[in-house]
Amino acid sequence: MNVDKFLNPTLDKCNDPNLLSGSQRAARKILANIQEGDKITIFGHDDVDGITSTVILYTFLSKLGAKNISYYIPNREFDKFGLRENFIQKVLKDGTKRVITVDIGISEVESIALLRKKGIKTIILDHHKIMREYPQASAIVDPNKRSDRFPFKYLAGAGVVLNVVKVLSRMTGIPAKPVYPLLAGLGTIADRMPLVDDNRIYAKHLYYNFEQSENPFFHFYAERTHGLSREKAVRQLILLLTLGREGDGKHLGVEILLSQNESEIREIYSILEKRVHDNEEQVNKVKDFIDSEYKNEEPHFFMYCDPKGVISVNYLGVATSYITDTYRIPSLVLTKWEDDVLTAEARAPSGFNWLDCLKKIEPYLIQYGGHKEAAGFACHAKDYSKIHDKLQILAEEQYKKIHNLQRESKKIYIDYVLGEDQLEVSKLREIHRIFAPFGEGNPPLAYLMINADVTELRERGFVNVPENEENADINIIFSILDKEFTIIDYELISKRHEVF
């Protein structure tokens, strides 16, 4: 690890975008399309990483002079994953000459071949693992390509797009907008990418600069969330944008980030806020339902098929994430998509590789993709029993690994042992600020303090000091979570306690 880059993560320390294989070729192709006045359509994945990727590219191509440009974000409630019939028919009808996929596309071999046959060429800007042959695209930018020289392989989709924009900026002399690193940071955090290297730079930049952003929506949102911790404000923003799915390729998350009109921003924000409120009730119902299914068996590998479609496609990720985050086990939930098609979302703790599992059952899948710990697929309902049996076998083969993961998840790694005279609240907050933001690959700092005084802890603002009738000293492990000094674990006399 580059210590200076970690402790002082400034934008000038990002890796050279020209090292990203295919970035210059993609930039040249895009500039040629703009010069010719070709119709360009950006196809983005329907999550926050895809939304921010779309906004970065759309706004910069517009700045370069693209007059005939549009975007398309599929609604997973109606559209299958990837470049499907609705989108293909739309671009054929509207005269699109160039499709640029962002945060998606690397597995779309058949769809891109069909577009090519129809006279529409494609550029792929993606960050997912390459599990099949390369699609027949004019240019492919993905740090996971075998020939790629980019030193950091865990960029989010928005990070990949930003690097291509940097190349375009160098070629044309037109500067990129200051909001782009903020958007890249938002997409990176939302996609749970490791917050190290370039990802840490973008995430840090978001946490400490969005209040000063000239983007009208960021400015509006900073005023609305004034007083919240940055961590909570970012979490709320991610949820808000996630719920912007519309129909016919439009997305309110994209629209609110593109808007320059305050009244329009307020109107869209009001719609999204209502969706957040309505969503909370549905999320709780899904969690309660899936939790009851888990507790029926309490397996070490959770797989549930909902052929009647009780769980909406939009809540598959909620269901699987809940099981994995709560019980630290791999989880898979399938629900009805069409009469004979099931769609699935899968999650797993760190170290488990869903893509390897899906690769082994590929003959039974219509399509699949994602990351090691967060993936998805579609299959014919008639093949579910075979998929179930084969995944159960794979799970048994990995049981020891899963068991080790469960034990590993219970360990608490101490970053620093504090002496009695080192509980300086302001100093610890400053250290927290330097190491933040926290997330995948960069967990919050954990401190061990021996023989802590209970009364002093309360006076210093610890939020969950345990009751202690004898007022005896205790050993504590604590972190700073959402600005609060929070005890994670403690030891009183001879008893050890876990705090959840």
Output the pLDDT for position 478: 92
Phi, psi of 265 (to 5 degrees): -60, -45
- Distances in Å between the Cα of 500 and the Cα atoms of 298, 390, 411, 414, 464 are 20, 35, 14, 17, 10
Q: Which residue has the tokens 């797009």?
A: 161
Confidence of residue 311 (pLDDT cuts 50, 70, 90): confident
> What's the burial of 180, exposed, middle or buried (CB within 10 Å: 0-12/13-18/19+)?
buried
Q: What is the mean pLDDT of residues 129-150?
A: 90
Confidence of residue 310 (pLDDT cuts 50, 70, 90): confident
Output the pLDDT for position 470: 66
Residue 498 has pLDDT above 60, yes or no: no
Q: Which one of 195-209, 332-346, 347-361 scores highest in mean pLDDT?
A: 195-209
Report how far residue 98's alpha carbon sits from residue 39's, in angstroms, rounded to the nearest whole number.
7
Which has more pLDDT, 387 or 328? 387
Domain residue spans in the chain?
3-270, 299-409, 416-498
Q: What is the mean pLDDT of residues 477-490?
A: 89
Mean of all residue pLDDT scores within the chain: 89
Other Cβ atoms within 10 Å of 282 Cβ, number: 13
Q: What is the mean pLDDT of residues 36-49?
A: 94
Residue 250 has pLDDT above 80, yes or no: yes
303 has which bridge partners? 332
Output the pLDDT for position 206: 95
Which has more pLDDT, 84 or 403? 84
Q: What is the mean pLDDT of residues 345-373?
A: 86
The one-character DSSP state at 81 is: S
Residue 494 has pLDDT above 80, yes or no: no
| Residue type (1 letter), 186 | L
Supply the Cα-derived Rg of the chain in whole angstroms: 24
Output the pLDDT for position 219: 92
Q: What is the mean pLDDT of residues 215-240?
A: 92
Residue 304 has pLDDT above 70, yes or no: yes
CATH class held by domain 3-270: alpha beta
Share of the chain above pLDDT 70, in %: 94
pLDDT in tens, 383-433: 999 999 998 888 777 666 666 655 655 677 899 998 777 888 899 999 998
Residue 200 has pLDDT above 70, yes or no: yes
Report how far residue 243's alpha carbon sits from residue 79's, in angstroms, rounded to the nearest whole number.
16
For the domain made up of 299-409, give the CATH fold: Diaminopimelate Epimerase; Chain A, domain 1 (3.10.310)
- Helices (H), ranges, 64-156: 85-94, 109-117
Q: What is the mean pLDDT of residues 293-321?
A: 86
Residue 133 has pLDDT above 60, yes or no: yes
Output the pLDDT for position 500: 46
Instruction: Please say whether the beta carbons of 38 and 97 come within 8 A.
Output: yes
Residue 451 has pLDDT above 70, yes or no: yes
Share of the chain above pLDDT 90, in %: 58
Output the pLDDT for position 298: 79
Q: What is the mean pLDDT of residues 365-383?
A: 87
- Closest residue by Cα to residue 377 from 407, 403, 341, 430: 341
Residue 203 has pLDDT above 80, yes or no: yes
Residue 198 has pLDDT above 50, yes or no: yes
Q: What is the mean pLDDT of residues 238-242?
A: 94
Instruction: Please say whether the beta carbons of 413 and 489 come within 8 A.
Output: no
Strand-strand pairing, 474-481 and 484-492 = antiparallel
pLDDT in tens, 253-280: 999 999 999 999 999 999 999 999 989 9
Give the predicted TM-score (pTM) of the model: 0.87
Secondary structure (3-state) at 37 = coil
